[in-house]
Structure 1
Amino acid sequence: MKKIFLSCFFWVGMTGFSQKIENSETLQPFWNSLKDKNNVTQILFLGDSHTQAGFITDYLREKFQSEYGNAGRGLVFPYPLANTNGANDFSASSNSVWEAFRLTHEQEIYLQIGAGGFIIGNKSQALIEIELKNDDFNQVTIFNDPKMQGKEVELLLSDDSSLKHFVEKQTERVSYQIQEGDTFPSLASMFNTTTTKLKKLNGTAVTQPQVGTWIKADKVTVDYDSSFENLLQSIDKQVFGEIYTYFQLPISTRKLLLKTYSDDNNFYGFHFANGKNGVIFNSVGVNGATYADFTKFPLQFQQLKTLNPQLLIVALGTNEGVSKITEEEFKESVENFITNWKLENKYSPILLITPTDNTINAQKTKKIADWIIEISQKHQIAYLDLYQAMGGAGYFRKALAKKVANKDGVHLFKAGYEEQAKVIWEAVEKSKK
């Protein structure tokens, strides 16, 4: 049996100054795995909105797989079903609407969030189709909720037909009176819309909903032409496992089409592999995420552990840098994160990446970068000071002048993210022993 290793990247965040990874000797197990041509080395890049956009991870995935071999697309969350942005190298469709939340959301509807940092949930049988644009696969792992264990799930083949051509979204303007327990994210989920659209319709007051007040929403429903199912044939049928469900397919394909027979579905992500040796570069990006957010739900690290991680690279801190968090609170959240990860992955080394400059709170962001370095030194953890590597203070204004940064003061465009990805790639390669 092939050994499978996982390396995890958590991202936060014009090339500046040359920068190396400090304490890089702790990454030796990762390099040993890559040198072994009989391995599948999985890399998982986890982070915030800089990661969810997909530009950094697309660049790094291509670099790693070109150098060390392509063993599959890896972890995917069907962002389109959750009405949010994500990588553009796959599409996702369903014949059902789904409630959706990310781990940063205030909500009491779903008590757990798993591998991908998001959840889609519904209360009926449904079809989900995920189509990869560039990668074939013959192995699929579904990350599901424990309550689905024992319920049937079926993988289907649709030949040249696609579910997306048999579904059509309909929008209806509705009025709704705020109830006890409603939150801004739960309202968006309730109507299968986005928080941005709700705010546009109702103003900023909707972000702090008051019981008894009325709001407007564009409620989205799905019309489904069930004749699609006459075109399908079964590939495999089994029951959901406790926290994940694995399928070995008899064919290679780029399209996953599954039917869940459960009447209470919670999905946290889908992992794709092709059975070859090389690298699988996974990513988990969650808009607005902090170190503390990644310690909220034990199921997430439990599911990621099943990938057999070899290295965790953490790059968070951007959102703390524009918050009121204190030094004590921040350091405690990072150390809790490290402790929780080590509980599930005792021998997995860690690489921390600092956030880069912004114009929202540049001084606080520099402090966050310094605190990450202090924690890394204290615990002998590898780290990359991306703040300095990209040029330090003033970097974001230079990025604006080059037109590779967004006027929101913190986000970049594709070209800007790829410049950062290049610096990360070169630093990682220089650390190779």
Structure 2
Amino acid sequence: MNGVAGVIGIDPQHLRTTVVLREGEGTAARLAPVGDGVRRSIPNAADAQGRWGSEAAEHRLAGVRPTDADGELYGWRCEAWSPEFRAGLHRRLTRYLGEVEPVPLHGYRTCVAVPPLGQAGTDPCWPETEPVGPTDALVCRWLTAGPDAREVVAVAVGDTWTLTGAYRVRDTADGPHVTRVGTLRETEGTAAWRGTLLRRVLDRCPPAVLGQRILSALDGVDEFATGLRTGDQDRQVTWSGPLADVLYTPLKMTPRQFMAGAETGPATAGLVLAVQRAVRDLGAGAEEGPLIVVGGPGSLWPLRSVLPSRLGTMWQSTDPGLDLAYGASWWPSLRGRFAGKHGGRVRAVPAVGGGGGPNAAEGLGSAAGPDSPEDGFGRAGSASSVPANSGPGVPGHGSPGPGSGSTGGPEGLTLPGSDSYDEIPPWRRP
């Protein structure tokens, strides 16, 4: 990479885009997330007046009430590949680099973790953009910080999709070499979980104008999800983020209660099936079970509780929200270590149940029905490795898991572990 000043890794998701700048190589490399000056993960928002990111989203949210339609709550969103958003990102990076444009002429490469069906096309803002498969980006992330392993199942979890692929790793004199094995499988993302939790928070707020605080509450969902992921399965996590001061009753739940909710079914059932088939792709070589590398912005939730320990040991970085952008920034240095290709991308769905309907909060749904056929990518840093859960199986579709203690709440939401009357806002009680 002679003459390269840095590599920009980009992870464009449905609601937000994450950007990482890597400068340097090996253990001397410096990596930094590049937000919009307000948030690390940039809201996909831009308007004709030149507003971009948080500024554009907050302007659009001015005057929105928590009781407004979900389309209004997310009305600020635009496509990450829209000319307006990409132009704003280009301006932001130019300022961040000291008024140096992030283009190859100045020594900057751009690699994008391209979502399914996404396009990393070029325009005057982004010449020579290079796409990277999300699971390949995740494996790159693991190669820079993860424990040694010979068989790896990479699970890249996004907003509207999850991709699962199998890899074999062998050590050579010049470092590890990675071979893609089997089929790349696509399942649900976890955006529905975020949308449902956000609605639970907003339904506890008085019917007043909240404006930009709704965007802050979206940030609070990530904090709450992280608390669920890093906490004990049966210890309650209390919402203490934005709007906590105006909630008529605290929002509390345990990781086990959350993962037993109806909204987790489509994603978790498909996830387990995809991982099972990826382990099968590895064949007899994975006798002790592969390392299951789970990452991406949709993996902030306690996913370890749904993967049976017999499938392998689960590994996550300490900051999974950055994984795909982080890994994409390493792609130019590590692409030569990858060989082979996955045998196409297919939809992995449970044998019974359904793929989940559209997400009421964000308008996201399954692209395939339950009968879709399967037709067959020196270490440094800090991370954690935990055994996958060996407890109860995946909750069924459309209903809470056993023992969840769920009750119906306002707006038809499933509210785990709470008294139904207490969950009715005071202004709606008889």
TM-score (norm 2): 0.23
Task: Point out which structure has higher relative CO (alpha carbons under 8 A, 6+ apart).
Answer: 1
